[in-house]
Amino acid sequence: AEQIASGKAAVNACPAGGQEGADAVASVMGVESMEATRLLAVVLCRGGDAEAATRASYRGEMSCTAAHLTGGEKSCTYGCLGYGECVDACNFDAMAMNDNGLPVVFYDKCVGCGACARACPRDIIEMHPADRKLFVYCKNRDKGAQAKKVCKVACIGCSLCVKDCEVPGGIAMKENLAVIDYDKCPQNDTPTRRCPTKCILFGEEEKMTREAFYSSNLDRAV
C-alpha cells in the first residue's frame, strides 16, 4: 500500500484487490486506472501419499518448514511435504489438504495474494495469470530413473513435451526438468498427449471449487 501511495507501484499492484480495488485506488489518487491481472496459486506437485515413495517415518514438528530441514517422510526432496503450511497461511479459505496429502486450491476463492507461495519452503506453489492452463506439475531435477524411483508422476526428462510443443523453444529441458516458456508456448494440450507420467497437464486448474471439494469429501464419508 505504501508503494502504491508513493507512486513506486502501479494502482493494480495489489492482486487481492482485483479490478475493483485498482479502480478504487486510481479514483482516490486521481489517476487513470489500469487493468488488473488476476493471479491464482498453482501447486506444481502431484506426488501425494499414493504416488511418492516413503523414505522414513517423520516424528518432528508437523510443519513443512521443520520437515524440510530433515527431508520429511517422502523420498522426493523436491516435492510437497504434505503438512499444510500453505493452507494455514491462506486467509481466504481458498485451500485445503486432500485425502492424498496434497494441498488443493479453490479457484473461486483464491485472490492471488501469494501468501501460500511464500509459506512453502520448497517453492512448489507459484502465482500465475488466471488464463494460463498449461503446467508441469513437478519440480524434481534428478535424472529420469531416480525421479521415477521416488515418484510415479515425476518428470523423467524424456523430452516428448519439448518435441510436441508447436513452437520451437516453447518448452525446454533444464536440469532434467521440462520448463515452459509462456512467451512462446501455445496454451493447448498438444505437449501433454505423450507424457508417460502425466506430469504436464492442460486445464486442470479449472476443475475445483471450494463447494465441489467439500461436497465430494462429504459423499465419500457417507
pLDDT in tens, 88-138: 999 999 999 999 999 999 999 999 999 999 999 999 999 999 999 999 999
Q: Residue 9 has which C-alpha cell?
A: 507501484
**Same-domain pairing of 33 and 52:** no
Domain hosting residue 87, numbered range = 39-217
Q: Residue 193 has which C-alpha cell?
A: 498427449
**Same-domain pairing of 8 and 49:** no
pLDDT at site 24: 62
**Same-domain pairing of 70 and 139:** yes
Q: Are 153 and 199 contacting, i.e. CB atoms less than 8 angstroms apart?
A: yes
Cα dihedral value 160, 164, 170, 173, nearest 10: 10
pLDDT in tens, 39-74: 999 999 999 999 999 998 888 899 999 999 988 999
CATH number at residue 202: 3.30.70.20
**Same-domain pairing of 97 and 130:** yes
> Could you tell me if residue 55 is inside a domain?
yes
**Same-domain pairing of 43 and 12:** no
Instruction: Provide the domain count of the chain.
Output: 2
d(CA 150, CA 138): 12
> Which residues lie closer than 8 Å to 35 by C-beta, 6 or more apart?
12, 19, 22
